């Protein structure tokens, strides 16, 4: 059984549908990329997957032993107020919160997990730094390490590379690809279709046309061809590649 199965899913806010009739599956070990224009409902979809909002219609089924609270989620915008005092260590450790239940303190094993994930993201040297004083790329690594603490199975990343420079973007993609190779299932929203096609094995395209299938199917499909063409005309996207 697939980790996530969406059946005729419609997502939106307060009864207002943003994207509808979505059907897709995420299997263990997959790397799914969600693409689509601005405002097509990509973020709304992943918020539905991590149960931040309820589906408008249809359903999301979790299978293969995946629990809804075992997904590591990286939001598109993490609005951290100016001056919030929080060290990298504190933030990464907070990724273990779902493991605690009502237990008040983190265990040694959880602290070790946080330390390991910081090591994996090469941010160990930043452990005691204030989150607000890090660069955008460093902040994303911190949030990724936090998401890793929350899961051993699946990461859902909402535009993890937005606002990062090309070099850091490439590093980020490599990091995520590495995690996928270790067996973590990846669902990533991306605007950068070239990299999506390079790294992902499945594509979900939402918007005017809806497509779900493997990468090679997508490249053959009409939706894929049009989207690829549009993006390569966009000078801004061109620069990123």
Ligand X SMILES: Nc1ncnc2c1ncn2[C@@H]1O[C@H](COP(=O)(O)OP(=O)(O)OP(=O)(O)O)[C@@H](O)[C@H]1O
Tokens encoding 10 = 């419609």
Which residue, 43 or 185, is less far from ligand X as judged by CB?
43
Using CB under 5 A, pick the residue from 17, 27, 28, 76 that binds Mg ion: 76
Measured from each CB, the residue nearest to ligand X is: 43
Tokens encoding 187 = 């669902």
Tell me if 55 contacts ligand X by CB under 6 A.
no
Which residues have a Cβ under 8 Å from the Cβ of 132 and sit 6 or more positions away?
80, 82, 83, 84, 86
Tell me if 100 contacts other proteins by CB under 8 A.
yes
Closest CA to 164 of 176, 182, 181, 151: 176
CB of 207 to ligand X, least distance (A): 8
- Coil, strand or helix: which one is 57? strand
Number of Cβ atoms within 10 Å of the Cβ of 192? 20
Which residues have a Cβ under 8 Å from the Cβ of 35 and sit 6 or more positions away?
42, 189, 190, 191, 193, 196, 203, 204, 205, 206, 227
Q: Looking at 20-28, 31-39, 66-74, 211-219, which segment touches ligand X (CB under 6 A)?
A: 31-39
Tell me if 43 contacts ligand X by CB under 6 A.
yes
Q: Where are the alpha helices (DSSP H) in the chain?
A: 42-49, 88-93, 97-100, 108-120, 136-150, 166-181, 193-199, 215-220, 222-233, 235-240
CB of 135 to other proteins, least distance (A): 16
Indicate the length of the chain as a whole number. 241
CB of 37 to Mg ion, least distance (A): 11
Tell me if 78 contacts Mg ion by CB under 5 A.
no
The binder of 38, among Mg ion, other proteins, ligand X, none, by C-beta within 5 to 8 A per type, is ligand X
Tell me if 48 contacts ligand X by CB under 6 A.
no
Phi (first) and psi of residue 10, to 5 degrees: -120, 135
CB of 80 to other proteins, least distance (A): 7
CB of 122 to Mg ion, least distance (A): 27
Tell me if 78 contacts ligand X by CB under 6 A.
no
Using CB under 6 A, pick the residue from 39, 65, 163, 166 that binds ligand X: 39
Tell me if 43 contacts Mg ion by CB under 5 A.
yes
Site for other proteins in 149-188 (CB under 8 A): 150
Which residue, 106 or 170, is less far from other proteins as judged by CB?
106
Distance CA(69)–CA(184), nearest Å, equals 15
List interacting residues with ligand X (CB under 6 A): 13, 18, 36, 38-44, 76
């Amino acid at each position: 059984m697939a980790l996530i199965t969406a059946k005729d899913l419609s997502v939106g806010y307060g009864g207002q549908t943003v994207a509808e009739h979505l059907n897709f599956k995420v299997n263990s070990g997959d790397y799914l990329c969600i693409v689509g224009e601005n405002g097509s409902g990509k973020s709304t979809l992943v918020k539905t997957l991590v149960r931040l909002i309820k589906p408008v219609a249809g359903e999301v089924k979790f299978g293969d032993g995946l629990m809804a609270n075992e997904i590591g989620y990286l939001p598109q915008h993490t609005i951290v107020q100016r001056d919030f005092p929080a060290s990298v260590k504190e933030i990464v450790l907070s990724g273990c919160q779902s493991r605690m239940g009502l237990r008040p303190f983190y265990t040694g094993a959880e602290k070790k997990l946080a330390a390991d994930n910081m090591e994996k993201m090469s941010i160990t040297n930043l452990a005691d730094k204030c989150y607000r004083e890090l660069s955008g790329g460093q902040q994303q690594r911190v949030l990724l390490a936090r998401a890793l603490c929350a899961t051993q199975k699946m990461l859902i990343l909402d535009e993890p590379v937005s606002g990062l420079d090309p070099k850091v973007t490439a590093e980020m993609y490599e990091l995520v690809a590495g995690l996928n190779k270790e067996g973590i299932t990846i669902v990533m929203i991306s605007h950068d279709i070239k990299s999506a096609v390079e790294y992902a094995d499945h594509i979900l395209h939402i918007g005017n046309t809806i497509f779900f299938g493997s990468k090679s199917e997508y490249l053959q499909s009409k939706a894929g061809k049009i989207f690829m063409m549009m993006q390569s005309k966009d000078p801004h996207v061109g620069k990123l590649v």
